[in-house]
């Protein structure tokens, strides 16, 4: 076989001598891998086994549960909407406009992904709390109080979840073929119209994925919410908070609520499987 043909084969990915057939793993690796898998599966199995299926429906439709569910949906969807309105422009700037300090601004925007959520909650309190930098001013000039309100819960969720949207949309913007935007401009579209009619539709898959990811994160938010917004049924007690509280007083209810959140997460994972799982 000539060299060029060997190279062709490698490129086309057909079975050349560099491709490997499946290999039986060493025993040690197999055992540790099995342990790792069990570590993920056993808790989920426990949840399923301990679910009081008989009274599940009753527990799910209890008034307190429904209140928490309704609040959770409202807060997380609002947080996602805010994240899209503010996060897409941010992603666009990060992907398209170099400016001094962009790296720093970007790092700070992404920070909540790795920041302990409680720290995020404390930071929000220090900024928007009654004694906070902006909070006192908001309170005295406009009579707006954010901490320990539903608006506060939404803010806490947005703070923690928006980075997921920003980085997903930014990656989409970087990957798209920008010559489509050039084509639109030569056809007479100004920058704003190019953004609406070409850029946004072309990054729609990234926007949907980022939005869903952001929503799932907002729905599960606990630390920042309880720190900044507290735990008041009906106004700030979202599902994760209700689960935590119910664990003491109503363990069966906690299990059912957990199962519901698990179902949502699984739904997200299945919905986005093409993006993450081959």
Partner 1 sequence: MSLLTEVQARVGDFQLEVGFAAPAGETIAVLGPNGAGKTSLLRALAGLLPLERGRLVLNDVVLEEPARGIRIPPERRPIGVVFQDYLLFPHLSVTDNVAFGPRSRGMTTSAARARARQWLERLGLDQLGDRRPPSLSGGQAQRVALARAMATEPALLLLDEPMAALDASTRVSVRRELRRQLAAFDGIRLLVTHDPVEAMAMGDRLLILEQGRVLQSGSPADVTQHPRSRYVADLVGVNLFRGRAADNVVTLTDGGSLTVAGADDGEVFAIIHPRTVALYRGRPEGTPRNVWQGRAVDLDASADRVRVRLAGQPSVVAEVTPAAVKELGLDRGDTVWISVKATEINVYPA
Q: Which residues bind partner 1 (CB under 8 A)?
A: 177, 179-180, 182-190, 193, 197-198, 201-202, 204
Q: Judged by CB, which is closer to partner 1: 26, or 188? A: 188
Least distance in Å: CB of 190 to partner 1?
5
Q: Which residues contact 184 (CB under 8 A, 6 or more apart)?
A: 193, 194, 197, 198
Distance of CA 23 to the CA centre of its chain: 36
Min dist. Cβ of residue 98 to partner 1 (A) = 15
Pick between residue 174 and residue 185 the one whose CB is nearest to partner 1: 185
Least distance to partner 1, CB of residue 205, Å = 11
Answer whether 216's CB lies under 8 Å from 265's CB: yes
Please, which residue, 206 or 254, has the CB nearer to partner 1? Answer: 206
Nearer to partner 1, 102 or 204 (CB): 204
Q: Which is nearer to partner 1, 175 or 265 (CB)?
A: 175
Burial of 171 (0-12, 13-18, 19+ CB in 10 A): middle
Cα–Cα distance measured from residue 116 to residue 93, given in angstroms and rounded to the nearest whole number = 26
Q: How far is the CB of 234 from partner 1 (least distance, A)?
A: 43
User: Closest approach of Cβ 175 to partner 1, in Å?
Assistant: 14
Comparing C-alpha atoms, which of 80, 116, 84, 128 is closest to residue 229? 128
CB distance 220 to 242 below 8 Å: no
- Distances from the Cα of 26 to the Cα of 32, 37, 40, 189, angstroms: 10, 17, 22, 61
């Amino acid at each position: 076989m000539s060299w060029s043909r060997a190279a062709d084969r490698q490129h086309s990915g057909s079975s050349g001598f560099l491709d490997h057939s499946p290999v039986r793993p060493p025993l040690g690796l197999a055992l540790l891998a099995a342990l790792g898998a069990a570590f993920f599966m056993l808790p989920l199995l426990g949840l399923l086994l301990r679910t009081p299926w008989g009274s599940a429906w009753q527990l799910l439709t209890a008034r307190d549960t429904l209140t928490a569910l309704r609040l959770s949906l409202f807060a997380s969807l609002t947080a996602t909407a805010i994240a899209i309105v503010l996060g897409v422009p941010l992603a666009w700037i990060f992907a398209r406009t170099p400016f001094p300090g962009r790296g720093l601004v970007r790092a700070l925007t992404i920070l909540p992904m790795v920041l302990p959520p409680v720290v995020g909650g404390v930071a929000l309190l220090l900024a928007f709390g009654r004694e906070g930098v902006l909070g006192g001013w908001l309170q005295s000039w406009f009579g707006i109080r954010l901490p320990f309100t539903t608006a506060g819960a939404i803010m806490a969720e947005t703070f923690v979840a928006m980075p997921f949207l920003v980085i997903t949309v930014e990656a989409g913007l970087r990957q798209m073929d920008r010559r489509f935007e050039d084509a639109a401009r030569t056809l007479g579209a100004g920058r704003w119209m190019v953004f609406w009619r070409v850029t946004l539709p072309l990054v729609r898959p990234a926007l949907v994925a980022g939005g869903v990811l952001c929503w799932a994160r907002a729905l599960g938010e606990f630390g920042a919410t309880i720190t900044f917004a507290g735990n008041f049924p009906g106004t700030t007690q979202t599902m994760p908070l209700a689960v935590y509280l119910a664990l003491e007083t109503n363990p069966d209810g906690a299990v059912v609520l957990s199962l519901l959140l698990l179902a949502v997460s699984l739904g997200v994972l299945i919905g986005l499987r093409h993006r993450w799982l081959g």
